[in-house]
Chain A
């Protein structure tokens, strides 16, 4: 009441006397604050918002902001100068208020006023000791108790300081240990203020504050070398008062600092403690603060962040925690459909309706944190990024992988979660960590984890199979050179599947040219229809190819691509086809074109055999390389030993693959050759565990659920798109000469087709069943999967039919690309 009265008096006085200067106004409000505390009665329960203190603080702030607008060239105005010189101990008072919370609400007010001062002024002179000291002290008040009622205001102040550091990196020094001296001096608040605003003893020695967990070096200044730059303040705009502490002459605008092991980056450490807040807004602020500081380009700060604070470890630890708290019985489909941006989640979580299905909150919490890690990876300094990604592998992936080794249920969930993780992660470093973790980065090429996952695909539990396949699908989709080399190419690149065995080859070709059984074709009407159908398909393909810009007459090789396409399209006889007219073939071509381009972009910097070879191989695929001189040379150089007679082999290897050759492909070759040496005459090609699994599932197609087949074929078509010449011919060249026992995609497809062609006509009304199944599958009715009346056999027939169209399209698109490459 009294204070309000005096304010009025002052206003009245203003009318009579000449207008007060801004500084006088400023001092007036300061006096009013002192006056309030001189007369303060601790027994009064009045809240600070019901006093004049907020008003006076606001006015003081306003005066500083106004004067700054008029200051020229960054000089400091008289009001701010009064603070810097400590003639008006505003900041000390705020610190005392924050500690004492007297009257109630003062703490929150002090924090917001401090924050506002820093945000509203362009030059808050933080590098002056009289400004940063009180700020340091105020930070000590923060975090004193983890769930403090003022945590919002505290984290806001921290975020503001992060912002200042972001704009003036030298300020980081204020928040590292060397600058924090003896506890006693740090905590000291000027006596007059202390008398005014006495601290409760409890508050004076905060326990849970990282500031006090620091082992102080005897002489902290020894640890740090500072390069002093002359700031404007040093030049006399501000003369520091005599009472100032010794290190006032240490400018914080240092450019270079040397950090010791036990140093701490307090600003970040303090932020970390708010990551555990129950209030998502507070967590969000802390996350923002960490991102702001981590994205600084200065190497110094980055080193400080990684070596003097546990920030990366803490963030990844939280990720692992959130992963573990996802309930085991969430539906993998729900995982698949999540779409989360970290920055928006804090707000969503306040929404009570934010719990759509079992496990939704846990999943959201996990994936939003992952999104934060991913975003941080992309925004932060490279040194922090590499530390963070290493931690991601060591502390998250390794732990997450353990789930994959557990029960079928936990393995299914782990596969679903990890697949989703990999799908949403965008930072290349995290993707690399993922692939190295899966396929290993040491010498061992068949990683235990990989083998477990491959085995999980072959499990009787279809859910486990499905989720693990989805995981592999993502691994291929987000393939790195290393992961594709290890997982897919390690065997194929030896070209050991290739075998020139004339008799077999002829045999093979005969079979290929007569996809349907020739005897029947001669004998019955169905065969006539099949012939017509084949002609029709050929005609259509011609049309499409011409439409795609392929001039049949100009290109001598088009005959070959025709044969390849026909091999796929005529794999199934007309009688069991559900959609014999290749109407969606063009659609597959366009899809393949788009995806192939993506692959070309991704693999453009891989050290694979050139795309040119790839084109050559496609073009010459039916010629078995005979008609291609360059291809011949290539082949002879690299692969002759495998097809040579025994006695020449050893010398050849010594010539071509010296033992110190560190190319791991060639190491494999040597091994394989030795196998041949010790075993039988006919060499068996080992396609490796991954292809073995895929082929095994593929031949089991008729007896597997539709979803499994869908994902299985999706993986194989992705592999078929990869622009690698050997992988290409291994998957897409039906005329490839191989030894009888070597499994190839086409052989397995033929076998499946044969079985389906035999079994399906036994189904009653099979044409109708095929037709209705197709309609149902195409309708994309979500309830279809849940119904029991599926005909798996027919479903797999339709998947196979579409798969063949897709493979034919891929083969064509790659061929077309090769043609363009050669003019």
Chain B
């Protein structure tokens, strides 16, 4: 299917916070009650529309367990967006956010958009982390924040789409170099029909790296 842009996302956060469930709810609109431990990384994709443009989201759902961190790290590089998820019913998952953020910032490109997600908002009675705390953390670290429920689907669409909007805005502002695939963004086929122009683009600008002129 034709798309204007393709964005690469990752979902990160402690084990059991509901990363795989969020992805499943977003791509398949269903909920999986059992915890099917993710080893390595799972993949999902969906088309969305922003500003009248078709955008393909490719989403990599990573393993939260410490033992598999070596794999998770491989995905930071080359992602345009990240959903950093904690579980509002487990304070420890909230406490680990700083470590996750450090890891993400260290291994990803600096422009990566990070959305903070407090998941399992349907379990109000078991809540351990106040919404305000999530908001404060997001404000402090310059993230967008949202509470979701992968079970009831509340805010799930919004979480993924708002992240995409944020990336889209950055593209409009020229923050992202869309010709560099390392940024996790690809221009769709109908955009690059200029006959290989994108391939040759910048070839002459090699001088910029040369250090002398230009």
Contacts and interface: CB of A to CB of B under 8 A. Distances in A.
B78 A344 contact: yes
Contacts of A717: 211-212
Contacts of B50: none
Contacts of A343: 41, 60, 71, 74-75, 78
Contact of B207 (A159, A344, A780, A806): A780
A292 interface: yes
A344 B75 contact: yes
Nearest to B202: A782
B111 interface: no
A159 B39 contact: yes
Contact of A62 (B34, B196, B213): B34
Contacts of B19: none
Contact of A710 (B60, B78, B198, B210): B210
B214 A288 contact: no
A740 to B, nearest CB: 29
Contacts of B58: 347
A152 interface: no
A62 B33 CA distance: 10
A356 interface: yes
A714 B40 contact: no
A55 to B, nearest CB: 16
B132 to A, nearest CB: 31
A782 B75 contact: no
Given A710-B213, A782-B200, A783-B204, A162 B74 contact: no
Contacts of A784: 204
Contact of A339 (B65, B182, B199): B182
A713 interface: yes
Interface in A102-145: 116, 119-120
Nearest to B189: A353
Interface in B169-214: 180-182, 189, 196, 198-214
A713 B212 contact: yes
Interface string B68-83: 1011011101100000
A427 interface: no
B35 interface: yes
A379 B68 contact: no
Nearest to B65: A167
Contact of B37 (A120, A291, A295): A120
Interface in A46-84: 62, 65
Contacts of B67: 163, 166-167, 292
Contacts of A342: 74
Interface residues of A, number: 57
Interface in B140-154: none
A22 to B, nearest CB: 15
A713 B182 contact: no
Interface in B14-69: 34-37, 39-41, 43, 58, 60, 65, 67-68
Given A167-B67, A341-B78, A780-B214, A336 B37 contact: no
A288 B41 CA distance: 9
Q: Is the interface of A mostly helix, strand, loop or mixed?
A: helix
Given A120-B35, A781-B204, A802-B213, A159 B40 contact: yes
B120 interface: no
Interface string A704-734: 0011011101100110000000000000000
Interface string A495-523: 00000000000000000000000000000
A288 B42 CA distance: 12
Interface residues of B, number: 43
Contact of A163 (B39, B180, B189, B200): B39
B212 A799 contact: yes
B211 A163 contact: no
A334 interface: yes
A605 interface: no
A785 B204 contact: yes
Given A120-B34, A357-B199, A782-B200, A160 B205 contact: no
A798 interface: yes
Contacts of B213: 710, 777-778, 798-799, 802
A441 to B, nearest CB: 30
Interface string A757-788: 00000000000000000000110111111000
A344 B211 contact: no
Contacts of A710: 206-207, 210-213
A176 B77 CA distance: 35
A798 B67 CA distance: 56
A777 B214 contact: yes
A561 B67 CA distance: 56
B39 A339 contact: no
8 contacts: A119-B36, A292-B40, A344-B8, A344-B60, A706-B207, A714-B211, A717-B212, A782-B202
Interface of A: 62, 65, 116, 119-120, 159-160, 162-163, 166-167, 284-285, 288-289, 291-292, 295, 333-334, 336-337, 339-344, 347, 353, 356-357, 375, 379, 591, 706-707, 709-711, 713-714, 717-718, 777-778, 780-785, 798-799, 802-803, 806
Given A339-B181, A711-B210, A783-B204, 15 more contacts: A119-B39, A167-B67, A292-B40, A339-B180, A341-B75, A343-B71, A343-B75, A344-B60, A344-B78, A347-B58, A356-B196, A379-B73, A714-B211, A782-B204, A802-B213
Interface of B: 8, 34-37, 39-41, 43, 58, 60, 65, 67-68, 70-71, 73-75, 77-78, 180-182, 189, 196, 198-214
Pairs of residues from A and B, 10 with the lowest C-beta to C-beta distance, nearest first = A782-B204, A341-B78, A710-B210, A288-B40, A379-B70, A163-B39, A714-B211, A339-B182, A343-B74, A295-B70
